[in-house]
């Protein structure tokens, strides 16, 4: 397998990704400070992306390797694991099983981990929780396992809904406690007969520009005084999120970071 190793990340080399595709890359991956571009044949590359190195790598079962390297992810009171590692979770922790698959949200990304930690720091007993951009369902399921009365996960990508539903079943969450539907804010949330569209807690792992667009809708779906948990935010994009929260009158804004990623909590 022919792989071109280009120093940098998708963020630092954003302007160069198109050049890789135009040069014939069949796939791009970011790993350990490198962009790995897969090619069928070695080719001359433009000057802007010529600082990399061609490697002929032995074919590997990347999926098997990825699965073998997964470890349990502690996040506050919760530990997130794939099904085959469940026995490694101490009984003092809330066990959250997520099957690694096609939807984002195994817990291995800093944003997911920080969001589960933020949920775990709240008293969710009898609370309702809206999870915008649910992916694997991990945040809605975490909320249900942390005693929320009802968690609704919405996602614009229909592929995620059966995956999230299955993950909830795998965790023994009763159907009435967690529900998942295709959609976003501004939709009527038609599957949501429990809350009338207004929730005690709103969590969203999206990205800064989308939080900026959706922040008005967050107000509409969050009860007055309810905590808002936003992540998926690059530290460099924090000012955009601060401005958006100020604009809508959110207060008590607090930030925590993990590497390049930030999580912001606030109240309306």
DSSP state of 15: G
Of the candidate spans 17-25, 109-117, 167-175, 236-244, the one that interacts with ligand SAM by CB under 6 A turns out to be: 109-117
Instruction: Kindly write out the interface string for residues 3-42 of this chain, putting x where it contacts ligand SAM by CB under 6 A and - elsewhere.
Output: ----------------------------------------
Give least dist CB 59 to ligand SAM, A: 29
Q: Does 258 bind ligand SAM (CB under 6 A)?
A: no
Q: Does 132 bind ligand SAM (CB under 6 A)?
A: yes
Q: Contacting ligand SAM (CB under 6 A), which of 70, 206, 219, 238?
A: 206
Q: Contacting ligand SAM (CB under 6 A), which of 81, 94, 145, 154?
A: 154
**Distance in angstroms (rounded) separating the CA atoms of residues 205 and 19:** 29
Q: Does 70 bind ligand SAM (CB under 6 A)?
A: no
Q: Does 76 bind ligand SAM (CB under 6 A)?
A: no
Cβ contacts of 163 within 8 Å, gap of 6 or more: 99, 101, 102, 103, 136, 137
Q: Does 52 bind ligand SAM (CB under 6 A)?
A: no
**What count of Cα atoms within 13 Å lies in the side-chain half-sphere of residue 80?**
29
**Beta carbons of 107 and 100 less than 8 angstroms apart:** no
Number of residues that bind ligand SAM (CB under 6 A): 21
Helix or strand (DSSP H, E) at 144: helix 138-145
Give least dist CB 117 to ligand SAM, A: 12
Burial code (b: 16+ CB inside 10 Å, e: under 16) for 65-96 equals eeeeebebbbbbbbbbbbeebeeebeeebbbb
Of the candidate spans 40-48, 103-111, 167-175, 233-241, the one that interacts with ligand SAM by CB under 6 A turns out to be: 103-111
**Distance in angstroms (rounded) separating the CA atoms of residues 42 and 15:** 21
């Amino acid at each position: 397998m022919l792989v071109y190793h280009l120093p940098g990340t998708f963020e630092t080399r954003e302007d160069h990704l198109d050049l890789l595709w135009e040069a014939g890359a069949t796939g791009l991956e970011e790993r350990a400070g490198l962009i790995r571009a897969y090619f069928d044949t070695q080719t001359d590359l433009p000057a802007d992306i010529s600082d990399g190195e061609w490697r002929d790598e032995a074919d590997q079962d990347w999926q098997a390797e990825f699965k073998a390297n997964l470890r349990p992810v502690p996040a506050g009171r919760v530990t997130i694991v794939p099904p085959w590692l469940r026995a490694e979770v101490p009984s003092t922790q809330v066990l959250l099983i997520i099957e690694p698959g096609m939807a984002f949200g195994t817990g291995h990304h800093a944003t997911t981990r920080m969001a589960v930690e933020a949920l775990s720091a709240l008293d969710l007993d009898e609370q309702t929780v809206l999870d915008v951009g649910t992916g694997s369902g991990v945040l809605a399921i975490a909320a249900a396992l942390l005693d929320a009365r009802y968690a609704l996960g919405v996602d614009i990508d229909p592929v995620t809904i059966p995956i999230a539903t299955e993950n909830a079943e795998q965790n023994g969450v009763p159907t009435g406690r967690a529900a998942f539907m295709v959609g976003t804010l501004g939709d009527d949330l038609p599957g949501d007969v429990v809350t009338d569209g207004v929730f005690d807690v709103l969590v969203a792992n999206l990205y800064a520009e989308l939080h900026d667009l959706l922040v008005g809708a967050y107000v509409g779906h969050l009860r007055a005084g309810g905590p808002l948990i936003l992540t998926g935010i690059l530290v460099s994009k924090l000012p955009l999120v601060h401005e958006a929260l100020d604009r809508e009158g959110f207060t008590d804004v607090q930030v925590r970071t993990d590497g390049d990623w930030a999580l912001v909590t606030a109240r309306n």
